[in-house]
A and B are shown apart, each in its own frame.
Chain A
Amino acid sequence: MGRQLIWPALITSVFTMGALLFLPSCAPLLPQQTEPVFAPSLAEALPKSFTVVTWNAWHGLDTGEFWVTPTESPEENQVRLQHQVAQLAATQPDVIFLQEVNPLPERALAYIEGLKAQGLAYRQVHQVDACGIRRRGGAGLIPGLNNGLVILAKEALQLQKLDGLKLSGDLGQCESRSGYQLEELRYGLIAEITMPGTTMKYLVVSVHLHSGFEAGTPFLSQVGTLYEQGRFVRYPWLQWSIEQSRLRRIGELDVLMRDLYRRSREEPYAGIVIGGDFNFESDFPEYEEAVMLRLHDTYVSATRSGDLYTADPVRNARIDPHASLVTPKELEREITGESAENQEAIRAAFRTEVARPRRIDYLFVNGFFPDHCLRQDLFGTGTNAAGYPASDHFGLLNRYTRDRSSCRQQTRPAALAPSGAPGTR
Chain B
Amino acid sequence: MILVVALIGGTPSPSVAGDLSELQELVDEARLTFEHFVRHPDLDWLRSHLNEAKGLLILPSVTKAGYVLGATHATGLFLVRDDETNRWSEPAFYRAVGGSVGIQIGIARSEALVLVMTERGKQSLLSSTLIFGPGLTVAVGPLGRSISGGVSSSLAADFITYANSKGAMAGLTLGGMVVAVRDDAHELYYGKPVAPPDILVAGTAYNWYSARLRKALTRATGGQWEDN
Chain A residues at the B interface, C-beta cutoff of 8 Å: 10-30, 32-35, 236-237, 239-240, 243, 247, 250-251, 254-255, 258-259, 261-262, 265, 289, 292-293, 417-418, 420-425
Contact = CB atoms under 8 A, between A and B. Distances in A.
Given A420-B191, A424-B206, A25 B35 contact: no
A254 B209 CA distance: 11
Contacts, number: 139
A423 B11 contact: no
B17 interface: yes
Interface stretch (B51-59, B64-72, B110-118, B158-166): B64-72
Interface in B161-191: 176, 178, 184, 188, 190-191
**6 closest A-B pairs (Cβ-Cβ)?**
A18-B99, A18-B71, A29-B14, A422-B191, A22-B73, A15-B99
B20 A29 contact: no
B120 interface: no
Nearest to B23: A258
A29 B17 CA distance: 7
A24 B4 contact: no
A292 B12 contact: no
A421 B21 CA distance: 18
B215 A32 contact: no
A21 B25 contact: no
Main secondary structure of the interface of B (DSSP, over half): mixed
B184 A32 contact: no
Interface of B: 1-4, 7-8, 11-12, 14-21, 24-25, 28, 32, 35-36, 39-41, 65, 69-73, 97-101, 145, 176, 178, 184, 188, 190-192, 194, 204-209, 211-212, 215, 227
A15 B16 contact: no
Contacts of A420: 191
B71 A17 contact: yes
Contacts of A35: 208-209
A171 B69 CA distance: 30
B106 to A, nearest CB: 14
B32 A20 contact: no
Contacts of A265: 20
B192 to A, nearest CB: 4
Given A26-B15, A29-B188, A425 B73 contact: no
Contacts of B73: 18, 21-22
A364 B99 CA distance: 47
B109 to A, nearest CB: 12
Contact of A14 (B20, B21, B100, B209): B100
B99 A292 contact: no
B45 to A, nearest CB: 14
Contact of A15 (B176, B191, B208): B176
A256 to B, nearest CB: 11
B76 to A, nearest CB: 14
A388 B206 CA distance: 53
Given A10-B101, A14-B101, A258 B191 contact: no
Contact of B1 (A12, A26, A236, A289): A12
B130 to A, nearest CB: 15
Contacts of A26: 12, 15
Contacts of A14: 69-70, 99-101
A27 B12 CA distance: 10
Contact of B71 (A21, A29, A30): A21
A285 to B, nearest CB: 9
